[in-house]
Structure 1
Amino acid sequence: MKLLRSTIHPDITTLDNKTIKQRLATRAIVQCDDEILLLFTERYHDYSLPGGGLDEGEDQVQGMIRELEEETGALNIRDIEPFGCYEEFRPWYKNDIDVIHMLSYCFICQVDKQLGETRYESHEINNGMRPVWINIHEAIAHNENTIAQSPKKGMSIERETFLLKLLAG
């Protein structure tokens, strides 16, 4: 899969002598007409692509399908094609790890417009996550405003906004 971008979070000045853990993740890109299926997260006040971490030994496509179903209730997932990989190095503050090396494998696919039931994890519920169909340009403008003005923004908003802009052309 082609590398779309590689970034190092500004809080990381060097990778030398750091404990680095790799995390593999997937992201689903689902567009229908002039809308894209995204997750709105109240805690961070942002829009993001559905997706998340792969389980140990899990196939990328199967992980993307699992995450898409869990987070959006997507039905009839089909026509799956690779889009690209986003690589990032971010600070991490758990389990004696200094830096998380995240590889997000992005796939384009189609789903039925009508969504089914979601199956959120407790932290997703606590963060106020919900699936929405939205115009991609509205989502980009919203995220850019959050980047510029909100102290609540999470570390993934730059990745998500980059990917949305890439998709919007």
Structure 2
Amino acid sequence: MRLLFEMDKHDYDECTHSFSRPSARSIIIRDGKVAMIHSMKYDYYKFPGGGIEQGEDPAEAMIRETREETGLVVIPETVKEYGLVHRIQKSDSDPTEVFIQDNYYYLCDAEETVVSQHLDGYESKEDYQLEFVDPYAAIEKNSRDIHGPYNPMMFQREAKVLNMLIAEGHLGSRQDDQ
């Protein structure tokens, strides 16, 4: 899978150990809008997806996580690799730990019918809602305000991926909307 970009804070020289948590995320586009999770509690957008379980294929994790978080059922034969974002920084919770995350993004389609979500505890508390959102609106919302306890790198990552999708013609430009 191609490397889209790296996010490296270079702030971990004093760390003594590392923690790696790879994730997989879906990019589902309909009518120039992209499927995203809207956290109603903290008012931010993120691509559907989450952690890859031990021994799980990243594409399978993306399909599972997308269904759990959004209720969208990904059509497996439409899944195409988009790219990887490599993130590395000192952990927010342990100053002796390096946090490493490879985020695998996949372009795909989903069935029209949306099934019920299966949210875990924190996702329910944040009141995750599926929205097909204008990419510029998502970028703008994530760049304003503080969105709860989350590291700003998550919002920067999502904005950068959205901007790449726009630049590569997967999503329309502002001029297309006028």
TM bin, normalised by shorter chain, reads 0.7 to 0.9
> In the alignment, is the contact (CA less than 8 A) between 2:35 and 2:130 conserved in 1?
yes
Separation in 1, partners of 2:94, 2:150: 20
How far apart are 1:153 and its partner, in Å? Answer: 6.4
Q: Which amino acid aligns with 1:2?
A: R
How far apart are 1:39 and its partner, in Å? Answer: 0.3
How far apart are 1:94 and its partner, in Å? Answer: 5.3
> In the alignment, is the contact (CA less than 8 A) between 1:137 and 1:168 conserved in 2?
no
> In the alignment, is the contact (CA less than 8 A) between 2:38 and 2:129 conserved in 1?
yes
Separation in 1, partners of 2:115, 2:105: 22
Q: Is residue 2:15 matched to residue 1:13?
A: no
Percent identity (aligned): 23
C-alpha change, 1:151 and 1:122, in structure 2 (3 Å) is closer
Q: Which amino acid aligns with 1:128?
A: D
* Offset from partner CA, 1:134-154 (integer Å, 9 cap, x none): 11222122222x2xx336362
How far apart are 1:14 and its partner, in Å? Answer: 3.3
> In the alignment, is the contact (CA less than 8 A) between 1:37 and 1:131 conserved in 2?
yes
The 5 Å alignment of 1:123-134 reads 123-134=122-133
Separation in 1, partners of 2:67, 2:147: 30
> In the alignment, is the contact (CA less than 8 A) between 2:17 and 2:98 conserved in 1?
yes
Show the counterpart of 1:25. 23
Show the counterpart of 1:139. 138
Show the counterpart of 1:69. 67
Moved over 4 A (4+): 93-97
* Offset from partner CA, 1:11-38 (integer Å, 9 cap, x none): x523454311111110100001111100
The 5 Å alignment of 1:8-157 reads 8-9=8-9, 13-15=11-13, 17-78=15-76, 79-92=78-91, 98-144=97-143, 146=144, 149-150=145-146, 152=148, 154-155=150-151, 156-157=154-155
> In the alignment, is the contact (CA less than 8 A) between 2:14 and 2:96 conserved in 1?
no
Q: Secondary structure at the match of 1:116?
A: coil
> In the alignment, is the contact (CA less than 8 A) between 2:66 and 2:74 conserved in 1?
no
C-alpha change, 1:15 and 1:25, in structure 2 (3 Å) is farther
How far apart are 1:84 and its partner, in Å? Answer: 0.4
Q: Which amino acid aligns with 1:64?
A: M
TM-score norm. by structure 1 comes to 0.87
TM-score norm. by structure 2 comes to 0.83
Q: Give aligned pairs, total.
A: 164
Q: Which has the higher strand share?
A: 1
User: How large is the RMSD of aligned CA atoms in angstroms?
Assistant: 2.1
Q: Is residue 2:159 matched to residue 1:165?
A: no
Task: Extract unaligned runs of 5+ from structure 1.
Answer: none
* Offset from partner CA, 1:49-75 (integer Å, 9 cap, x none): 001110001011111110011011112
Task: Extract unaligned runs of 5+ from structure 2.
Answer: 168-178
* Offset from partner CA, 1:112-167 (integer Å, 9 cap, x none): 244211000011111221111111222122222x2xx3363622111111111111
